[in-house]
Amino acid sequence: DQQVKQNSPSLSVQEGRISILNCDYTNSMFDYFLWYKKYPAEGPTFLISISSIKDKNEDGRFTVFLNKSAKHLSLHIVPSQPGDSAVYFCAASAGDDKIIFGKGTRLHILP
Amino acid sequence: DTAVSQTPKYLVTQMGNDKSIKCEQNLGHDTMYWYKQDSKKFLKIMFSYNNKELIINETVPNRFSPKSPDKAHLNLHINSLELGDSAVYFCASSPGLSGGTDTQYFGPGTRLTVL
């Protein structure tokens, strides 16, 4: 039962362009959403989050958009840089003690 | 100076064996977690401990037994290993009790292969 879905296993984007990673969720009780980034042979690292009371949160090159009616969020990275090549996990929580992760999307930034 | 460390990084063992994975955090955090990332790449929580007390136990087989000797350590012991236990196991920690919103800091993972 996938409550957090990342339907694109991979994405390739030209350096300097915008990367858009998408995430859908099914549990309407989710009220907090996070993005984690993971390099090979390392653990995930926190990137950015958004509360359900907002529809946008921005941190430097990273912006997360939340569309509650569509149960959809997206991570925008602009401009994309080579160091952004990684696996990006979308995650959500329902105000309790745990985070539910998606399967991840592998982002390749092309030179 | 590693914030969340796990040992070993790789573990290859035979079915039926018992093994342990150790985790230590030097961040002064109160809450620690174990996650399993299986072959389908899902990263799923197994356990969380707050200050040595079990908070979350996600219907994990009782062959898996977490042990927290102090709030800086959360070890994972697995009895009678099965092929399906092969996965990457991540330890994590967070400053407060709210694992749902606190930023979690992950260790590098332990790749367990059961033959």
Mean pLDDT of chain B, nearest integer: 92
Confirm or reject contact between B105 and chain A (CB < 8 A).
yes
Instruction: Please tell me the distance from the alpha carbon of residue A2 to that of residue A24, in angstroms, as a whole number.
Output: 10
> Tell me: the pLDDT tens digits for B50-73?
888 888 888 788 999 999 999 899
How many Cβ pairs closer than 8 A exist between chain A and B?
Answer: 59
Position of tokens 């350590």? B73
pLDDT at A109: 98
> What pLDDT score does B74 carry?
95
CB-CB under 8 Å, B58 with A96: no
The pLDDT, as a whole number, for residue A101 is 95
Question: B72-93 burial string, b = 16+ CB within 10 Å, else e?
Answer: bbbbbebeebeeebbbbbbbbb
Tell me which residues of chain B have a pLDDT lower than 50: none
The Cα of A49 is separated from the nearest Cα of chain B by a number of Å equal to: 9
pLDDT(A87) > 80 = yes
Confidence band, pLDDT 50/70/90 cuts, at residue A5: very high
Q: What is the pLDDT of residues A56-67, one digit of tens each?
A: 999 999 999 999
**What whole-number distance in Å separates Cα of residue A24 and Cα of residue A28?**
11
Q: How far is B88 from chain A (nearest CA, A)?
A: 10
Chain A residues contacting B, CB < 8 Å?
32, 36, 41-46, 49, 89, 93-99, 101, 103-104
Q: Using CA atoms, how far apart are residues B44 and B74, in angstroms rounded to an integer?
A: 17
When pLDDT is cut at 50, 70 and 90, the band that residue A96 belongs to is: confident
Distance (Å, whole) CA A47 – CA A65: 14
- Based on its alpha-carbon atoms, the radius of gyration of chain B, rounded to whole angstroms, reads 13
* pLDDT for the residue B1: 63
Instruction: Give the model's pLDDT for residue B54.
Output: 87
CB of B62 within 8 Å of any CB in chain A?
Answer: no
Q: Determine contact: B56 vs chain A, CB below 8 A.
A: yes
Q: What is the pLDDT of residues A26-70, one digit of tens each?
A: 999 999 999 999 999 999 999 999 999 999 999 999 999 999 999
Cα B105 from Cα B64, distance rounded (Å):
22
Mean of pLDDT over chain A: 95
Half-sphere exposure of B31 (CA within 13 A, CB side): 19
State how far the Cα of B70 lies from the Cα of A34, in Å rounded to an integer: 28
Residues A67, B110: Cα–Cα separation, whole Å: 36
Residues of chain B in contact with residue A96, where contact means CB-CB under 8 angstroms, are 99-100
Is B42's CB within 8 Å of A46's CB? no
Q: From B3, which residue of chain A is nearest by alpha-carbon distance?
A: A43
Is B59 an interface residue toward A (CB < 8 Å)? no
- The pLDDT value given to residue B63: 95
